[in-house]
A and B are shown apart, each in its own frame.
Chain A
């Protein structure tokens, strides 16, 4: 046996694992500094860590590395969207149709205001529309993480989760439909322009449905044991993410659909409300650091004005939409205001969706990113703080008061 094989050689055999570990620890450390020293949400710290490590600043994480880590992003998104989908309770809408109306209003107004703003800055219609569709969605990752960190519990939290689930559904559907126009913009024929959105929507929803059927069958067989159901759901979520990527469907829509079906079609309540807990935290920290690494502070400087206008238009849409229907939905204007502020974090997820499916037209992805990313940079950093503030003001967070806690 060759002695040399016992010694390490470059490139290191497990360099990727070292990288993952290092990212987690960096994220954790910066997150702690943010919480302890700056008194900001740790999510902002994770994003900031990514921002500094990424190509935008230090460049320790380059584009190739980020590509290799994309599996973590996909799994994290899968977990989050499944969880979010389970918050979309159709029975609620039958008991309070004004809730649905207020969701449509805030989504629609955010879309229209952002669209109008971008058109004002002479952005082409198809880009304006896609960017405005992205603006509809609230970031489920930020919301779920803040809810978890703050141990938020209460009617406002539930409403915020339901409205976020809805505006994500609207955004995903609209983005899929807009792909048709993107195809046309780049000279594809009508057939392609209609079939691709249909394939994305129907295929992803169908995949989510199949995943739900599998989960229900397995849950019946496993019985109500939390550990077994946890592993079963995790397995199905990861598997569904894989299938969605393989069949070029939307990971986001498929997993959201999986969660929605699990909440609303599980008539015999075979599926347990599993908490992903500390295991899920691993994926979330990775997600935020990697998201941060994808941000370019330099872009903020170039298109800062458009970015700021974008952010304000979006906020106005949400606040007005929610405020209009608040009295009918039985909540005070103060609560509507807190909801609007809680919905400030913008979904970097939607950007992922656009980039994934617009791979056919790299130019489209690049242009769109340059429009949306300034707003994403602002909202990734400010958003967690806004949500945290709203939940605290609503009195639904749990301060750590226990002895030694």
Chain B
């Protein structure tokens, strides 16, 4: 039995964001998903809002978009619905890859069979999975194209990690990482990268083997950094922390879209196993140091600053962004890169002025509603 790869319009994009549900009393996570979802269910056209593994998480997702600005508009509408309903329950919503001071043991599994199954299988890892990521889908026309794009995209994974990093704090401590969230994911047996398969057929052979061995039941069981999503006809980038604003989330999606256009149209070389040899190291430094990380370019066999690599990529992507109508989005990325300031730096700066982690969460929740962090706004020139 082979996995059918749904054909989808190339270079379309969609975004999923996992968000935290907060108590406005102490700004800790609160088990509000059930109440919030039943309130939203009553509203029509509320966008796609779903439960996640623990009861203080909620996931929003967009439809299929071709344009950055329409995606931003859709995200804005979903965010506003979510926030308005949360306010009725005196709850708050926020972005960010980890909740700074929640204790994983206090989390409760959302009552859904799949989540109970995961909890049974993974034990405490399931509750520690109370971390919040952004998933970016990019449409491709075939399974073979998906495999090609996925391998080529792997080189750029550190870009996404460093640009989106928003999880410096975990369990009440500064972790010294910009993205501590990915460390939680590393613990899962099926995390990491997809094997170095050449095309969709080879992938199917691998998948069948794993399924026959009862290692997996479906694609959902792979927690890879990028994975093909045959039922959507997309590849799914899963390394991003949920940013603190939807503006940043939309800009990251547009960056992925422009990058995909470049890789698909310009065809800059063939997939190389060399990328995977340095992959873990590049991924680690990007998590640890964010935009101050170093980067090993497997192609040229040189070491450079990650910032430099992102700046160069942005230059290469400029014509593609123009064609896609997302120049403004790439400017958001550029400003973030040049300043060397991702959301993790914003959170650390807030802790200095706000003094406690409760204050940091309150401010990040406020930021999620207003999105007025000047650097992320496409309008600023």
Residues of A that sit less than 8 Å from B by CB? 86-87, 89, 91-92, 95-96, 153-155, 158-159, 162, 223-224, 269, 272-273, 329-332, 395-396, 398, 402
Q: How far is the CB of A78 from chain B (nearest CB, A)?
A: 20
Q: Is the CB of A272 within 8 A of B358?
A: yes
Complex contact B90–A153 (CB within 8 A)? no
Residue B105, interface by CB 8 Å: yes
A to B CB contacts below 8 Å, 10 in the list: A91-B24, A95-B88, A153-B30, A158-B23, A162-B90, A223-B355, A224-B356, A273-B358, A332-B38, A395-B31
Query: CB-defined interface of B26-51 with A at 8 Å, one 1/0 digit per residue?
Result: 10101110010011001000000000
Cβ-defined contact, A273 with B89, below 8 A: no
Residues of B at under 8 Å CB distance from A? 23-26, 28, 30-32, 35, 38-39, 42, 84-85, 87-91, 105-106, 108, 355-356, 358-359, 362
Q: Is the CB of A402 within 8 A of B25?
A: no
Q: Which of A86, A154, A155, A158 has the most CB of B within 10 A?
A: A155
Say how far B159's CB is from chain A's closest CB, in angstroms. Answer: 36
The residue of chain A having its C-beta at the shortest distance from the C-beta of B91 within the complex is A155
Sample of 14 more A-B contacts, CB < 8 Å, known A96-B87, A330-B89 = A92-B90, A95-B84, A96-B88, A96-B89, A96-B90, A154-B31, A154-B32, A155-B31, A273-B25, A330-B35, A330-B39, A330-B85, A330-B88, A402-B105
Q: Nearest Cβ in chain B — how far from A224, in angstroms?
A: 4
* Distance of A331 Cα from B91 Cα, bound (Å): 14
B362 touches A269 (CB 8 A): yes
The minimal Cβ–Cβ distance linking B24 to chain A, given in whole angstroms, is 7
Task: Give bound CA distance, A395 to B30, whole Å.
Answer: 12
9 A-B pairs with least C-beta separation? A224-B355, A95-B87, A92-B90, A96-B88, A155-B35, A330-B39, A154-B31, A273-B26, A224-B356
* A272-B356 contact, Cβ under 8 Å, with A153-B30, A155-B35, A332-B38: yes
Q: Shortest distance in angstroms between A317's beta carbon and chain B's nearest beta carbon?
A: 24
- Which residue of chain B lies nearest to A156 when distances are taken between CB atoms in the complex? B35
Q: From A269, which residue of chain B is reached at the shortest CB distance? A: B359
Compute the total of residue contacts between A and B using a CB distance below 8 Å: 64
CA of A159 to CA of B30 in the docked complex: distance in angstroms?
13
Chain A residues whose C-beta falls within 8 Å of the C-beta of B39 in the assembled complex: 330
Complex Cα gap A158–B39 (Å): 16
Q: Which residues of A contact B359 (CB under 8 A)?
A: 224, 269
Instruction: Kindly identify which residue among A86, A96, A331, A402 contacts B35, using a CB–CB cutoff of 8 Å.
Output: A331
Q: How far is the CB of A326 from chain B (nearest CB, A)?
A: 12
A95 touches B356 (CB 8 A): no
A398 touching B355, Cβ below 8 Å: no
Which residue on chain A has the smallest CB distance to residue B28?
A153
Kindly list chain A residues whose C-beta atoms are within 8 Å of the C-beta of B35: 155, 330-331
In the assembled complex, the Cα of A159 lies from the Cα of B25 at a distance in Å of 12
Chain B's closest residue to A155 (CB) is B35
Are B87 and A155 interface neighbours, CB within 8 A? no
Contacts of A155 in B (CB 8 A): 30-32, 35, 89, 91
Name the one of A89, A224, A273, A332 contacting B90, with C-beta atoms under 8 angstroms. A89
Contacts of A159 in B (CB 8 A): 90
CA distance A86 to B89 in the complex (A): 17
CB pair A158 B31 closer than 8 Å: no
A154, B30: Cβ atoms closer than 8 Å: yes
- Specify which chain A residues have a CB less than 8 angstroms from the CB of B84 in the assembled complex: 95
**Nearest residue, chain B, Cβ from A92:** B90
Q: Which A residues touch B42, using CB under 8 A?
A: 330
Question: In whole Å, how far is B105's beta carbon from the nearest beta carbon of chain A?
Answer: 7
Q: Which of B32, B38, B106 contacts A398 (CB 8 A)?
A: B106
Interfacial chain A residues near B28, Cβ < 8 Å:
153
Min Cβ gap B146→A in Å is: 41
- Which residue from chain A places its CB closest to the CB of B355 in the assembled complex? A224
Q: Which residues of A contact B356 (CB under 8 A)?
A: 224, 272
Are the CB atoms of B89 and A153 closer together than 8 Å?
Answer: no
In the assembled complex, the CB of B340 is this many whole angstroms from the nearest CB of chain A, namely 28
Q: Residue on A with the closest CB to B40?
A: A330
Question: CA A253 – CA B28 in complex, angstroms?
Answer: 29
* Complex Cα–Cα for A95 and B90 (A): 8
Q: Which residues of A contact B91 (CB under 8 A)?
A: 155
* Docked complex Cα distance between A354 and B30 (Å): 38
Report the nearest B residue to A329, measured CB to CB: B88
Verify A396–B23 contact, CB threshold 8 A.
Answer: no
- Inter-subunit contact B24/A89 (CB<8 Å): yes
Residues of A within 8 A of B30 (CB): 153-155, 158
Closest to A335 in B: B35
Complex interface: chain A residues within 8 A of B38 (CB): 332
* Cα distance, A167 to B30, chains bound together (Å): 24
CA gap between A86 and B359 in the complex, in Å: 17
Interfacial chain B residues near A329, Cβ < 8 Å: 88
Best-surrounded residue of A330, A395, A396 (most CB of chain B within 10 A):
A330
Cα A247 to Cα B32 with chains together (Å): 44
Q: A219 to B112, alpha carbons, bound, how many Å? A: 45
Q: Check B31 against A396 for contact (C-beta < 8 Å).
A: yes
Nearest chain B CB to A88's CB is how many angstroms away? 11
Residues of B within 8 A of A331 (CB): 35
* A332 to B28 alpha-carbon distance, docked (Å): 25
- Residues of the B chain whose Cβ atoms lie less than 8 Å from the Cβ of A330: 35, 39, 42, 85, 88-89
